[in-house]
Amino acid sequence: MAERTEVVFVDGARTPFGRAGEKGQYWNTRADDLVVKAMVGLLERHPELPKDRVEEVAIAATTQVGDQALTIGRSAAILAGLPKSVPGYAIDRMCSGAMTAVTNVAGAIAFGAIDVAIAGGVEHMGRHPLDGAFVDPNPRFVAEQLVSPDALNMGVTAERLHDRFPQLTKERADAYAVNSQRKTAEAYAAGKIQPDLVPVAIRTGEGWGLATRDEGMRPETSLEGLQGLKTPFRPHGRVTAATSSPLTDGATASIIASADAARELGLPAKMRLVSFAFAGVEPEVMGLGPVPSTEKALRKAGLSIGDIGLFELNEAFAVQVLSLLDHFGIADDDPRVNQWGGALAVGHPLASSGVRLMMQLARQFEEHPEVRYGLTAMCVGLGQGGSVIWENPNYDGKKH
């Protein structure tokens, strides 16, 4: 069997994330326009990449209706001005849609079918809230007790993690959420997040404007301020709005290529793909998904958790991240984890978030040449997890 082709993460870009709903900055912006904006911004940053060298466009959306339908990978490719010869397709693996888009095109590159691809995701949760309006779950799920009736309610699944692991207390989740907001505010103040944001023209009640920042951040969050928050998913529960990622609109895009094509075209190689894995768990505790997927990805890479020097974990809920950290014996405030905060602060536009994690890890790799391996991981609705292990091309083998 021939050796697989080396796959690299060239670069990523995203729109600022906006609050979902009528008061959000993207209420009058189409979902497909958001992902096209991310793609165009990314391509403009890399004029060395001829557009006809892009051989695939994979775009994820969880709710594939309305302006997130029409095989959005293909329609976005056309709208972004790529040649009509460039094919595209749509992906749905709920929260890990963009992550799956990346691993799908990476598999094609590793197999030798293509050399360069664009992979990303979009979710306009203001236009397409996950309220089941367009979903008709098979009655067998409940009738045959395949899943609990509330397994599709992500907040309830987070409460169940608190139930299953009593050591995952509300106090720990609150502290984690405050820390996430603080780290994101510090990263913004240091100008670390803004370079990968593509400004988006928006229309509001006051006229036209420009979205340049993530809209949902709450840097003023304090432990005291979280004490009286409601627990919307269960009376006297432990999950609050502060320890849940807010409903968010946004899009991401990345360029994935073979190492050879990147060298030929003069493209950067910000990360090298080492391994990836997806795994299933009980839908009722979907937040545990990244635990088996990470174990599987580590096993495939021949690595242990101690080899991972940087973690970018999607903060769908604080308790979900804590469950992974506890499993691997990592402290809640370990400095390797989510150095710039996460989805609790900037939001989680479902199918787009996987590439945000990768973009941030790539930037952190540049700052940390002492780190060789990093992990991007996330939980997925209906009981799944996704994990991707990356190698730092800046690694110098020295302890700094």
For 133-150, how does the pLDDT look when each residue is reduced to its tens digit (9 = 90+)? 677 889 998 899 888 888
Give domain status of residue 209, yes or no: no
Collapsed DSSP state (helix, strand, coil) of residue 86: coil
Other Cβ atoms closer than 10 A to 25: 24
The 8-class DSSP code of residue 150 comes to T
Asked whether residue 376 is assigned to any structural domain, the reply reads: yes
Domain-embedded: residue 43? yes
Quote the CA–CA distance of 179 and 185 in Å, as a whole number.
10
**Active-site positions?**
95, 348, 379
Is position 380 within any domain?
A: yes
* pLDDT of amino acid 131: 57
pLDDT of residue 372: 98
pLDDT value at residue 151: 85
pLDDT of residue 244: 97
Regions of the chain short of the pLDDT cut 70: 1-2, 131-133, 400
Q: How far apart are CA 99 and CA 102, in angstroms?
A: 5
Distance from C-alpha of 118 to C-alpha of 8, rounded to nearest angstrom: 12
Let me know if residue 230 belongs to a domain: no
DSSP state of 6: P
What CATH number is given to the structural domain containing 48?
3.40.47.10
Q: Which domain holds residue 94?
A: 7-129+246-391
Q: Give domain status of residue 384, yes or no.
A: yes
Q: H-type helices in the chain, by residue range?
A: 31-44, 72-79, 97-111, 140-143, 154-164, 170-189, 223-226, 259-265, 290-301, 318-327, 343-346, 353-367
Residue 315 lies in a domain: yes
Q: Which residues pair with 58 in a beta bridge?
A: 89, 119
User: 388 φ, ψ to 5°?
Assistant: -130, 130
**pLDDT at position 1, please?**
45
pLDDT at 133: 60
Tally of domains in the chain: 1
Domain annotation covers residue 136: no
